[in-house]
Amino acid sequence: MTAGERAARPLLRGRTALVTGAARGLGRTCAVRFAEEGADLVLVDVCGDLAGVPYPLGSGSQLEQTAKLCREQGAAVVTVTADVRRPEDVEEAARQALDRFGGVDVLLNNAGIAAPSGKAVHEIAEDEWDLMVGIDLTGAWRTMKAVVPAMVEQRSGSVINVASTAGLVGYRHFAGYVAAKHGLIGLTKAAALDYAPFRVRVNALCPGSVRDDPLSEGRMLAEIARSLDVDVDEHEEIFVQSQPMNSLMEPRDIAGAALWLAGDDSRQVTGTTLTVDGGFSAR
């Protein structure tokens, strides 16, 4: 194979990726990027609002839009409605992936919430803490528990846990989110050691402040701003002020990093934390 042929070959051709939180935002952008590089997709989302989360979550129609965009790239796509807090939902998503495609090569644990937040530690209610940790940390563990055994059996796979710079530093009035994301990085490191003998890689991806791109229908940054009582009309400009490179991350920046972790160019990379934050956490 020539260098030109290698360059033209889709990086994920013949592989299947399961993406949680796929209805919109980073989940959608990463799924479409994987499809562009030849992957088939299992797209998972809760497809509805949850009690205690103070903003709308991804909808069924948004998940179908993600599926449409992936199919336009030539991908075979399965969509699954699942709440990552429910073991039976997650197990069903894994079952559908195995039944349709025979295996899963890439797991992108992207499902997550940013609120309820905006409170000091002692003000956080028990149910608020449980909700945050249950989705952002335990949900990722639960999905790994359902999907990774098939990767172990096939002796290959890449798990990408979408953490955050909140998994590296602290943020005032975001203790639940910070704790969950720190825990996710710890889970990543431990799982990497568990599965390294089976050539299954586990890495964490830590985005910085990502712009809410209308095409992906993301709204995470706006919800973080709301929790901090930042004017939503000015929140992008305010967040930029803390960025060493004087710009927000774009969803495609995160998708590019996820693609690298999913593909063969990172075949010796496991247990690491890949930070895409424009230098924010370097200070």
- Predicted pLDDT of residue 183: 98
Number of C-beta neighbours around residue 232 at 10 A: 13
Average pLDDT estimate for 73-99 = 98
Q: Peptide bond before 87: cis, by omega within 30 degrees of 0? A: no
Q: What DSSP string runs through 7-42?
A: HHS-TTTT-EEEEES-SSHHHHHHHHHHHHTT-EEE
pLDDT at 167 over 80: yes
- Predicted pLDDT of residue 145: 98
pLDDT at 239 over 90: no
Average pLDDT estimate for 212-226 = 74
Give the H/E segment covering residue 92: helix 87-101
Q: What is the dihedral of CA 131, 188, 167, 52, to 10 degrees?
A: -10
Q: Could you list the active site residues?
A: 177
> Considering only 88-102, 212-226, 240-254, which range has the smallest mean pLDDT?
212-226
| Residues 281 and 165 sit within 8 Å (Cβ to Cβ) | yes
**Residue 17's beta-bridge partner residues?**
41, 106
How far, in Å, CA of 250 to CA of 69, rounded? 18
Average pLDDT estimate for 74-96 = 98
- Predicted pLDDT of residue 242: 76
SS3 labels along 155-200: CCEEEEEECCHHHCCCCCCEHHHHHHHHHHHHHHHHHHHHHHHHCE
Closest residue by Cα to residue 16 from 101, 108, 110, 109: 101
